[in-house]
Structure 1
């Protein structure tokens, strides 16, 4: 299992960043390069505690489906999404939103994941996923930052 953290400074209030981060449309727009889209569960609008959404996307030339559950939510401080069905042996993504003391937010993403397939999955984590997934989260966060800072 792998754990990593990504911190992103955003010039918007924690509540704004929290709300933007739970919008299905923000997520799909941030993952445009993979064609990611919501195909089941909550497919538009803002996710809430107990909601599930099934995402479909193309990564590494393969089509993937992942169903996640918003398993914890305490606005505007944090929420957690966890895979309930999909390609990972484990996927847990905690999103934290902390005031920066200047009217902005420090958004911290803490991701725990494990690839399937035992030793073969462990090799995939070392060879590809340990670099690819943090870069994917940073890409997503840049989009969240742009949307949150644009206001509205």
Structure 2
């Protein structure tokens, strides 16, 4: 299993950062490079506890569909989404928020495991970990930019 921990400092109030991170619409905007779309479940607005969304996107020239559910949420401090169906063996993404002097520290703890045993572990290590980290970095740049406009 791979773990990516990413911290982003945002010069904006915690409430706005929390809501932007839950925004289906902003997620779609931030993932334009993979043509990601919400196609089932919660397809727009802010996702909440126990709600599900199904995404369709193109990565590595292939179309993927993935469903995830919000399995934990504490208003303005954290939420967790977990893959319920999709291309990974496991995917668990914790979003943590805390107030700091300059605004908000947003931390992603992103854990995932590729399928296909030892071959999957090799692909995970050589390709997927850096690819997934880059997607998170790009997404967080969009969240930061939008939050700092508010």
TM-score after normalising by structure 1? 0.97
- Which position in structure 2 is the counterpart of 1:12? 12
Runs of 4+ deviating beyond 2 Å? none
Distance 2:101 2:75 in 1: 18
- Which position in structure 1 is the counterpart of 2:23? 23
Pair 1:112-2:96 in alignment: no
Distance 2:118 2:145 in 1: 39
**Cα deviation code 1:83-118 (max 9, x no counterpart):** 00000000000000111123x100000011000111
Distance 1:149 1:55 in 2: 27
Distance 1:47 1:130 in 2: 26
In the TM superposition, 1:48-127 aligns within 5 A as 48-102=48-102, 104-127=103-126
Structure 2 SS opposite 1:48: coil
RMSD between superposed Cα atoms in Å:
0.6
Structure 2 residue runs without a partner (length 5+): none
Structure 2 SS opposite 1:148: helix
Structure 2 SS opposite 1:44: coil
- Which position in structure 2 is the counterpart of 1:45? 45
TM-score after normalising by structure 2? 0.98
Distance 1:71 1:89 in 2: 17
Distance 1:112 1:23 in 2: 21
Give the total of aligned pairs.
Answer: 150
